[in-house]
Structure 1
Amino acid sequence: MSQKQKYLTSIILIFLLAGASIYGLVKRNIDLGLDIRGGLNVILTAKGTKKNPVNKRTMEQALFIMRNRVDKLGVSEPTIEQHGSRNIIVQLPGVKDAKKAINIIGQTALLEFAIVQDKYQGQDVEKLNKALEKKEKVLGETLMTGDALTSASAGFDQEVKAQNSYIVSLNFTNKGADDFASVTAKKNKNKGLAIVLDGKIITAPNINEPITGGKAQIEGIDTLEEAKEVALVLQTGQLPFKLEIAQQQQVGPTLGKDSLNAALIAMIIGFILVALYMLIYYRLFGLIAWASLAAFASLLFGSLLLLDIIMESVGAVGISLSLPSIAGIILMIGIAADSSIIVYERIKEEVREGRSLRSAIDVGFSRGFKTFLDADLVTFLTAAILFNFGIGPIKGFAMILMVGIFIDIVVSLMFKRSVLKLIAINNWIKNPALIGIRGVNSE
């Protein structure tokens, strides 16, 4: 294969890849980030104890439980992932009631059964909880926990229909049923059995007779929504440790849409201004730069789409375009244009030093490529550090830079160099003024 054929093959291959990228983008969209489509973004920090330390096993358990809870909330396309050793990032698109969502996701859901101390027998739940807040010894030792449950469901309390009261029905395992029968045995008859959720007494009914059916219920819940929330957190299991909110952000869909429109306008204006500058200043080389930028943009989005498909196929969190990601794309357009400028200026310098245009293109591209390759590698390393230590949108920004740098190098070697080499081999530029140089011979 001759040199001309190699260069033509490289150019055709770039066009085919760019076309495939455009086709892929038409068939499948890249998801938008939470800061654009609106929703809730929370970073939760695990707080372990000696009994329940934060480690790899308990973090995996917490992630599994939280994903189950989010699934039952019905949130579409949620993101729940671990960052570092103690942080969990939760992104819930379209969520309006942030407080409710956080309560359900981050609630420890430690269910305990304990006998009310003699001193507090007969007192209502409100008084019992006030005594608990004062650190008084209201309850005896924990006799059972939620680990003995097989299911929990919300319903209407048929026995107190007039009071609009709701219940959560509990079903126990075989061992749990035996333990519950023991708890409600004759020795505890007429005593209050407190059902405690995360340190708060929900109800404390009197034990009238042993309960042997392996079932129980939490009574006195005011709304069906609250009953469903309690049932949900009990059904999905107890978190192995407490979670504290380290950072919380909620973005409305209107604000996200306005931000997206502003970012897209900035990207389009930036692309047009760069293209116009290249055309006016470098003329024919400007056309090559414009084609390079078009190929670069197509391949960048195509690469992101391919990464998104690959990540989802292996069960990882897919790629989404956030505002920092779009900022990274705008920045990469500038970097890609800068790589063309470096090469073109090197070629012009070689021409001014007396080389023929053909020789100047050969030498100028080689020297210019080495210069912007060094700059690209430094940018890539910086982005890699950001990606490794960043969180959420920062990772997205860094990933755009890394992918963009790689695409820029590929386009420069396969497309830009090939076009310039063909121009040099065929001596297509007779007048150096076509590339912004006057009074110089092209031979």
Structure 2
Amino acid sequence: MLNKYPLWKYIMVIAVIAIGLLYATPNLYGEDPAVQVSGKRGAEVELSTVGQINDALSQANIAVKSAALEEGKFLVRLVNRDDQLKAKELISELLGAQFTTALNLAPATPAWLEAFGAGPLKLGLDLRGGVHFLMEVDMDAAIAKAKEQMVSDFRSELREEKIRYRGVREDAQTNGVILRFADEATRGEAETFLKPKYPGFVFDDDESEGVYLLKVSMSEDKLKETKNYALEQNITIIRNRVNQLGVAEPQVQRQGSDRIVVELPGVQDTAQAKEILGATAMLEFRLVDEKTDVRDAVAGRLPSTSQVYKNRDGQPYVLQKQIMLTGDHIVGARSSMDEYSRPQVNIDLDSQGGSKMSRVTKNNINKPMATLFIEWLPTGKEDENGKRKLVKHEEIINVATIQAQLGRSFRITGIDNPAEAHNLALLLRAGALIAPIQIVEERTIGPSMGQQNIDNGMAAMMYGMAAVVIFMALYYRAFGLVANVALLVNIVMIVGIMSMVPGATLTLPGIAGIVLTVGMAVDANVLIFERIREELLEGKSVQQAINQGYGNAFSTIADANITTLITAFILFAVGTGPVKGFAVTLMIGIATSMFTSIVGTRAIVNLLWGGKRLKKLSI
């Protein structure tokens, strides 16, 4: 019989709509103002600290909606914004610098919806607000690091070529290094060997008190290239770190010659974002100098080839200045537990790093190797040029004996807790910064401006929908009402799918994409209904007209939507920020509108008019 769906099709339509409605429902509950407390460098908030916070809030008569300790972080939900600000100030004073206290907006989703994995739609910076960071790259440190690398490379190259030299050191007057030789012939041999291997460098001969010098410095083009590489590499690494944080629709872009703008819309953990983005994590692997007594070294009596470092407990170690390997060669890092249930970080190196590690450890089996963790922290002071000063913090996080020749994969242990191992792995996996970077401006964008954008966008969508609904009801009568029901279901399904899909974020252009799909959804029904009218005018029966109207219009609707889908996919692939937000909502809207305007309306039409002997239709 024409225009009759089997039972399973009706069940399928109802199930799809129910799932969309389920995942769209959390958006009705809004968000609670909250304060989040987390430990620095991965430290977990303990129950004793939670007790102190609860007592302080109770004494201050601040009403707490709920409080929960999850994954080492304490989240306090409050009744209103005023209490939120008071609670943040109180907790910050109570805990001091040991913990970070951040303002948050926590979803007020009921537990029964969370059990299904349902959560509210994530909003972009232009709708919800968020955090804006302006970060500055320390170009002086980038040049200094390049010079250190030059010293290390020149020593290795000359040693492998068996060219004798008296010393290689950095030149404080230029952006280069100075090599010392015993005679002119050796200097010439070294220059002939190094020049082709290091294009972009300037080689100058000099002689001082019987010592033959070879000065190697970076040309202006090389200097510019080094600074630009440092900035671009840091931008790439910051993008990776943002992705690791799970922030949707982030914006990371260059500003000027040494600054980077980072915008994090709807970020859930401001404190962690600031810690991860602002930290400059680097690793250096060095051999422990066993020949030098630690007590003599602490007293200042140590060779020029060694240096004293301490672990977090203050225990000193004497390490060789020569760096075995840096974190630049790390391509993968993940936290896990060892066979004794202790936290560790498994590290994977690139081929060059693996070769270096293999070569060095081959000749140093049964000798201790230290893992040196380096980060640059802000001092709150400025230099004579107005730039903020950084202090270099160096800490030994692990000393282990080299049991065998290491390759591209190995692990570091001696980490206090799993949270710190996770944070360290995240930083190392995202990459080692070429130069220190610090946050010079932090701005929190409030939700008031975003709320105005939401109100304006919703008003535009409601006015547009109202006009479409009225037109369809007047022009297509009963069939127009069916199309209007499908239109409302389409909006619910778009919201539900975007709430369900990880990483999907609604921006102001995304609202424009939803408005566009409203018109596209109705357009499909207009094509179908006009085709039904044509079939009726040709003398076809009602059931034949409905069947052929849907069947014949399908190819036209599919062609139009597929071409639009291809365009949306290209926008998503090459676009950034708001353009991606528009493309995402457009692609989801095309898929849902195809379902509701063809399958959904056909199910309703079949249910109401299918299989009946009718002489006319209300269309």
When normalised by structure 1's length, the TM-score is 0.57
Quote how far apart the aligned CAs of 1:35 are: 0.7
Tell me the residue number matched to 2:351: none
Which of 101, 121, 126 matches 1:30? 121
Tell me the residue number matched to 2:8: 9
Structure 2 letter corresponding to 1:407: T
Structure 2 letter corresponding to 1:395: K
Task: Note closer, same or farther for the CA distance 1:282–1:332 as it changes in structure 2 (3 Å cut).
Answer: same
In 1, Cα distance between the equivalents of 2:315 and 2:247? 31
3-state SS in 2 of match to 1:92? strand
Deviations for 1:186-219, whole angstroms, at most 9, x for unmatched residues? xxxxxxxxxxxxxxxxxxxxxxxxxxxx9xxx99
Tell me the residue number matched to 1:18: 17
Which of 261, 285, 290 matches 2:484? 290
Task: Note closer, same or farther for the CA distance 1:327–1:219 as it changes in structure 2 (3 Å cut).
Answer: closer
Tell me the residue number matched to 1:269: 463
Task: Note closer, same or farther for the CA distance 1:369–1:326 as it changes in structure 2 (3 Å cut).
Answer: same
Tell me the residue number matched to 1:390: 575
Asked whether the 8 Å contact 1:37–1:257 carries over to 2, the reply is: yes
Asked whether the 8 Å contact 1:7–1:419 carries over to 2, the reply is: no
Task: Note closer, same or farther for the CA distance 1:94–1:425 as it changes in structure 2 (3 Å cut).
Answer: closer
Quote how far apart the aligned CAs of 1:304 are: 1.7
**Where does 1:36-435 land on structure 2 (aligned, <5 Å)?**
36-40=127-131, 49=225, 61-63=237-239, 78=247, 90-93=262-265, 105=277, 174=317, 179=321, 230=390, 239-240=433-434, 251-308=445-502, 318-422=503-607, 425-427=610-612, 429-432=614-617, 434-435=618-619
Quote how far apart the aligned CAs of 1:301 are: 1.9
Structure 2 letter corresponding to 1:349: E
Deviations for 1:212-238, whole angstroms, at most 9, x for unmatched residues? xx9xxx9995669x9x99469989796
In 2, Cα distance between the equivalents of 1:342 and 1:284? 16
Q: Which moved more, 1:327-336 or 1:352-361?
A: 352-361
When normalised by structure 2's length, the TM-score is 0.42
Quote how far apart the aligned CAs of 1:78 are: 4.5
Task: Note closer, same or farther for the CA distance 1:32–1:172 as it changes in structure 2 (3 Å cut).
Answer: farther
Quote how far apart the aligned CAs of 1:360 are: 1.6
Structure 2 residues without counterparts, runs of 5 or longer: 26-112, 114-118, 143-224, 254-258, 268-272, 283-304, 323-371, 396-426
In 2, Cα distance between the equivalents of 1:249 and 1:399? 28
Asked whether the 8 Å contact 1:14–1:295 carries over to 2, the reply is: no
Structure with the higher fraction of residues in helix conformation? 1
Structure with the higher fraction of residues in strand conformation? 2
Deviations for 1:55-101, whole angstroms, at most 9, x for unmatched residues? 99987755566789xx8xxxxx74586989xx998333489xxxxx9
In 2, Cα distance between the equivalents of 1:52 and 1:172? 39
Task: Note closer, same or farther for the CA distance 1:232–1:243 as it changes in structure 2 (3 Å cut).
Answer: closer
Quote how far apart the aligned CAs of 1:3 are: 7.0
3-state SS in 2 of match to 1:304? helix
Task: Note closer, same or farther for the CA distance 1:3–1:249 as it changes in structure 2 (3 Å cut).
Answer: farther
Quote how far apart the aligned CAs of 1:299 are: 2.0
Quote how far apart the aligned CAs of 1:330 are: 1.1
Q: Which moved more, 1:334-343 or 1:366-375?
A: 366-375
In 2, Cα distance between the equivalents of 1:81 and 1:420? 44
Q: Which moved more, 1:346-355 or 1:4-13?
A: 4-13
Task: Note closer, same or farther for the CA distance 1:56–1:267 as it changes in structure 2 (3 Å cut).
Answer: same
3-state SS in 2 of match to 1:426? coil
Task: Note closer, same or farther for the CA distance 1:105–1:354 as it changes in structure 2 (3 Å cut).
Answer: same
Deviations for 1:290-335, whole angstroms, at most 9, x for unmatched residues? 1211222222222222212xxxxxxxxx222111111111111111
In 2, Cα distance between the equivalents of 1:325 and 1:319? 10
Task: Note closer, same or farther for the CA distance 1:32–1:44 as it changes in structure 2 (3 Å cut).
Answer: same
Task: Note closer, same or farther for the CA distance 1:392–1:51 as it changes in structure 2 (3 Å cut).
Answer: closer
3-state SS in 2 of match to 1:6? coil
Q: Which moved more, 1:35-44 or 1:251-260?
A: 35-44
RMSD of aligned C-alpha atoms? 5.3
In 2, Cα distance between the equivalents of 1:349 and 1:384? 35
Asked whether the 8 Å contact 1:65–1:239 carries over to 2, the reply is: no
Matched pairs, number: 321
Asked whether the 8 Å contact 2:251–2:263 carries over to 1, the reply is: no
Task: Note closer, same or farther for the CA distance 1:281–1:60 as it changes in structure 2 (3 Å cut).
Answer: same
Task: Note closer, same or farther for the CA distance 1:37–1:23 as it changes in structure 2 (3 Å cut).
Answer: same
Task: Note closer, same or farther for the CA distance 1:355–1:240 as it changes in structure 2 (3 Å cut).
Answer: same
Structure 1 residues without counterparts, runs of 5 or longer: 72-76, 96-100, 111-142, 152-169, 181-213, 309-317, 436-443
Quote how far apart the aligned CAs of 1:430 are: 3.7
In 1, Cα distance between the equivalents of 2:552 and 2:236? 51
Q: Which moved more, 1:30-39 or 1:13-22?
A: 13-22
3-state SS in 1 of match to 2:263? strand
Asked whether the 8 Å contact 1:7–1:422 carries over to 2, the reply is: no
Asked whether the 8 Å contact 2:490–2:592 carries over to 1, the reply is: yes
3-state SS in 1 of match to 2:501? helix
